[in-house]
Structure formats: structure tokens, C-alpha cells
Amino acid sequence: MKIVFAPATVLLLVAALCAQQATVITKWYKGNTHAHTIKSDGASTPENVAKWYRDHGYNFLFITDHEMLTPVDELNKLFGKPGEFSIFIGQEVTDYLNKKPYHVNGLGVSSIIKPNRGTTIVQNVQLNIDSVRKAGGVPQVNHPNFGWALEAEQIAQLKNVNLLEIFNGHPLVNNLGGGGSMSVEQMWDVVLSSGKLIFGIASDDVHTVEDPGNPKVPTPGHGWVMVNAPELSQRAVMDALDRGDFYSSTGVELESYAVDKNAVVIAVKKERWSKYNIRFIGRGGKMLAESFESPATYKIKGNEGYIRVKVIESNGKAAWTQPLMISSK
């Protein structure tokens, strides 16, 4: 049996060994990697978007307007606070093919990327991923089911990309699939089962902060990441995302998550009236085990393919850890 640790889990493993216990206390920075303003097709100013995230307990926000690098220096002077809240630069590269949308976020890119207009689906997405890398950014494949554009087999062929949106807060992106089409989470399992490691991101894709509760518009506060970075800087957060040092959430917070060669241990920060199902998921999306208690421990057998954890809360909120790839030999 060979266990291949993602760097993320190595870090946690080291932390766990140092602490000589399963509970790992680290600083998790809360952030959103997908946001629009009036600089592209959003309805709120960059100032109002930054203010909303600062006022709601976030530590960082990537502004990712379409084909635009919305400046963040002035915003950081107005709303930033070292170590507590920062606004980072980004772009959503907005491509299409055969009238279907193919969008790739470029987190922290140094220049605006012109969509490459590749002529096959895989090439279309790949060229934009490559451009994001060339511009020093971290690519994120966005909302595969928006316009029912991307399929799991195509995502599995992509290279040089580590982030896939498995939850997007926009009301028209079909996260859950349906009508014979896979949910984005099922697609994630297909990609992982093919042996390709890719990390699952939850984001808002916010377009307005001034119309709370309107189910027809993309509002803030739906999906986010908790990033284990050494400091709150754009570089440190980008690197932590790229190596999978984060978990994704729509409302469940974790108290700890630790992995060693024998077991995966997870604990949830419990809300008073909430109940939780903690699911350990492996190859083919198969549920390996389920616990109703926190902390929950899964003993690694070695034939799982990969192990990821999904926590489901009794009001429908969730958290997703990143997969631990396991290859048996």
C-alpha cells in the first residue's frame, strides 16, 4: 500500500505529529475567490463589495471581473487591515465555444488575459489555464455545469490546474446537476477516480451586495474557502490554494482535520441545534463510512483510491475537505 499525501495533508500531518495529538490548531483564513463588480457585469461598486466581505468576517477576497483587473491598492487602503482582511487581484477569463461558456479564474494574475478561443473544449479551457500560469496566477476552473458546458471526462484531461469549483453561489450554475446530468460533486469524483488530483473550491460568484435575499441574483455569503496559509498575503494564499491547503464550506466550520498513515480524523465546530453526517468518500464517489459523531475517525485500508470527507449539516450546509490520494500496489 502506498499513500500519496497531498502537500496539504503533509503539513497537517507534521503539525499533528509535533503536537503529539490529533487536534491541530492552525490559522484558517476565510475567503472568496470569485467576485464581480461594476467594473464588469456586477451591480455593486468594488468599494461596496470589499466592504461587505470585510464586514462579514472574511479575511480575503479575490475580485475577478471579466477581462478586467480591478485595482485593489486603493481598496486595501480603505478597507484592508494587515493580518485581518485583504483584497486580492484577479480576473475571470471568459471564453466560449459553440455558444457554451468556459470560464477560468486567474487568481493573482499580473496582466489581463485575452480569452484564447481554443477550438475544442479541452483546448479552450487549457489555453486559458496556460495563460493564467504564464501571467503568474493560479487557475480555477469555474462552474462546469453553467450552460452544461464542461464534462468530467474533459476536466480529467486538463493539466496544470489544481482548482475546480464544486460549489458556486450563482443561482444559474446547476451545481446539483439533474435531468440525467451529473452534479459537480459527482464530476469531481469521476475526475479523482481517474487518478487526477484536483481540489474542490466553493465560491460566491457574487454580482451584487445590494439585493440580499433575492434568489434570482448572485448575492454574497454562499460558498467560501478556509485557507491554511502561513500569512495573509496574496502570494501565501495563492500558494496554499494551489497545493490544496484549504477546505471548502457553505456553512460548516471544522475544528480540526488531521491525517497520518493510519487514519483520517475530523472534528466539526458544532452549532447548538445542528446535527451532522460526516461522510468519508472514496473511488467512484462510494461512501466508505459515515459517522454521526464528531470527532470522527476513518481507518485507512489502502484500497480506497482516495479519501475525502464531506460534512453535511441538518440545514443543508456542508464542508468538503481535499482528497487524500491512495494508491495500492
* Chain residues in the site for Zn ion (CB under 5 A): 92, 103, 142, 205
How are beta strands 324-327 and 306-313 bridged, if at all? antiparallel
Identity of the residue, 248 or 256, whose beta carbon is nearer to Zn ion in the bound complex: 248
Contact 186, 174 (CB under 8 A): no
SS3 category, 227: strand
Identity of the residue, 24 or 150, whose beta carbon is nearer to Zn ion in the bound complex: 150
* Nearest-approach distance from CB 153 to Zn ion, in angstroms: 21
Of 182, 188, 136, the closest CA to residue 163 belongs to 188
* Nearest-approach distance from CB 150 to Zn ion, in angstroms: 11
Identity of the residue, 206 or 264, whose beta carbon is nearer to Zn ion in the bound complex: 206
Query: Measured between alpha carbons, how far is residue 315 from residues 53, 58, 59, 247, 256 in Å?
Result: 23, 22, 25, 19, 21
* Nearest-approach distance from CB 226 to Zn ion, in angstroms: 21
Identity of the residue, 9 or 142, whose beta carbon is nearer to Zn ion in the bound complex: 142
Provide the sign of the torsion angle of the four alpha carbons 102, 103, 104, 106, taken in this order.
Answer: positive
* Nearest-approach distance from CB 44 to Zn ion, in angstroms: 14
- Measured at CB, which residue is nearest to Zn ion? 103
Identity of the residue, 218 or 282, whose beta carbon is nearer to Zn ion in the bound complex: 218
107-132 core/surface letters (b: 16 or more CB in 10 A; e: else):
bbbeeebebbebeebbebbbbbbbbb
* Nearest-approach distance from CB 240 to Zn ion, in angstroms: 22
How are beta strands 163-168 and 199-203 bridged, if at all? parallel
Residue in the block written with cell 454580482: 207
* Nearest-approach distance from CB 78 to Zn ion, in angstroms: 23
Identity of the residue, 34 or 279, whose beta carbon is nearer to Zn ion in the bound complex: 34
